[in-house]
Amino acid sequence: MSQILLQKFSGAVPRYTSYPTAPHFHEGIGSSVYRQWLRALGAGQTLSLYLHIPYCDRLCWFCACHTKHTLKYEPIRAYLTSLKREIAEIGQNVSKDAVVTAVHFGGGSPTMLLPEDMTTLMVDLRAAFTFSDSVEISVEMDPNDLDEPRYDALAAIGMTRASLGVQDFNPKVQETINRIQTFEQTRSVVEAVRARGVRSVNCDVLYGLPYQTLETLRETISDIVSLGPDRIALFGYAHVPWMKKHQKMIPEAALPDTAERFLQMQEAARMLVEAGYQPIGIDHFAKPDDSLANAERNGELRRNFQGYTDDPANALIGLGASSIGQLPQGYVQNMHATSEYQRMVDETGLAAVRGIALTDGDRMRAWVIERLMCNFGFSIAELRTLYPRIAETVIAEARVAARDLPEVCRLDGDVFLLTDDGRPFARSVAAVFDAYLANGKGRHSLAV
C-alpha cells in the first residue's frame, strides 16, 4: 500500500453505524413523535432492544462511550428505577404482536449491576414486550466486575453471547489507558460463561493505542486466538479528546502515526485470517460456522450502532440515557445526562430529545452506504429496483467516483465495487455518498 494512497484516504470520516449519522440529528424529534413511531410497530415486525448502563467503577481513558465513573451503587439503583419506567412506558406503546428477537446490554459496564437487579431487569423486559423463544441476549462484560453470583445471574437471564473488551494485554499499554486486565482474568471469564452454556463469545481488540507496537499487538492477538472466541472485533482507537476530555490523559506523543496504525491493522487481520477466522466487513472476524459469517456469505450482513450484526430486526429500540433507536420512520436519541434523563422519564415515561425523520433519499443513501460497509459494493440494478424514482442521482455519483478514484473503487458492469486496495478505506468511499457530510457538523476519527 503506497503512502500516497494512505495519505489520500485515511482522513477523518464517520464510522457509518447509521445514516444519517448522529451529528445530524436535531431537536425536532422528541417524545411525542417517538410515541407515534412506537405505536406504528405492529404485527409481523421484529424488535431489537439495546439497554445502556452508563456507569463504570473505573474510567478507561481510551473510552469514547457515554459513561460516568462511580464507586457507589446508589446512583445505579436510582438510574435503574427510571430505566424500568421507560421500559414500561415503551412497552405500553408497542404492540404485543411485535416480537423481540435480540437484547443487548451495553455500557458503561452492565456487569456492575447486582445479580438481583440484573434478573429483575429481565423480568421487567419480558413483562413489557413479547419475546421470541429463540431470543439472542448479549452482554458487554468487564472481568473486574464479575463473581460467581453475577455469572449465575447472567445465566439466569438467558445470556447467549458474552462480549469482552480486551484492548491489549501489554502491561505498559494497559497502564497508559487505565485498563488493567490480565490474560488470566479474561480466560477465566471465557471459561466461566462457557461452563454456563453460553455458546458465543466475542472479544474486542484495539490497535493504534499508546505505546502499542507491532510486537505487542502480535502477542495480544496470539493470546486472543488461544481463547477461541467465536467473534473478534478489531477496532482502531478513536482519539477524540475534544469530545471525551478524559482522553487528554493519554500522551499523544505515544500514539502510533497513521502509517503505523495501518500496519498494525494489516498485521492483526493477517494473523486472524491465518488462524481460521473469516473477515467480516472492515473490522470484524468470525469463525466460519458463526452466524455472522453465515450472514456475510448469504448477503444478509447488517450494520447498526453495535457494529456488524446478523440481527434482522425491523426496529432497534434504545433504552437508557443517550441510547439511540432506529425505527422505520427514522432515528431517535435519549437525553445524554443521566440526571436529566431520569427527570424526564419520571415525568413522562420517555426521554427522547433529538433524532431525524428519514426521507426516501436518506433511505436510499443508507442502503448504499450499508452495502459498501458490509459487502464492499452494491448492484446498480438493485438500487434502481428499490428506488426507481431517485436512483439516478446516486448512480451518477458512483460513476464519478469510479472515474476520479480508480485506486479505491470501480464499476464492474452493473456493480459498483471497492478495489482490493480500497477495502480498508470503505468509510472514505462511503463518505462520497453522504449528502450531509459537507455541512461540517461533527468531528470524526481517522478512517484507519
* Structural domain total, the chain: 2
Q: Is 129 a residue whose pLDDT tops 80?
A: yes
Tell me: do 364 and 337 sit in the same domain: no
**Would 6 be classed as within a structural domain?**
no
For the stretch 263-284, pLDDT in tens is 999 999 999 999 999 999 999 9
Give percent of the chain above pLDDT 90. 86
State the amino acid at position 169 in one-letter form: F
Q: Is 3 a residue whose pLDDT tops 80?
A: no
**Would 400 be classed as within a structural domain?**
yes
Name the residue range of residue 41's domain.
16-357
- Lowest-pLDDT choice from 2-11, 65-74, 150-159, 336-345: 2-11
**Of the residues 357, 389, 409, the one at which a domain ends:** 357
**Would 11 be classed as within a structural domain?**
no
Reading the block at residue 71, the C-alpha cell is 464507586
What's residue 393's pLDDT?
A: 97
Tell me: do 292 and 338 sit in the same domain: yes
**Would 8 be classed as within a structural domain?**
no
| pTM for the full predicted model | 0.93
Tell me: do 30 and 161 sit in the same domain: yes
Q: How many residues does the chain have?
A: 448
For the stretch 293-320, pLDDT in tens is 999 999 999 999 888 999 989 999 999 9
CATH of the domain at 430: 1.10.10.920
Please report which confidence band the pLDDT of residue 441 belongs to, taking 50, 70 and 90 as the band edges. Answer: low
CATH of the domain at 154: 3.80.30.20
Higher pLDDT, 416 or 446: 416
**Of the residues 306, 338, 357, the one at which a domain ends:** 357
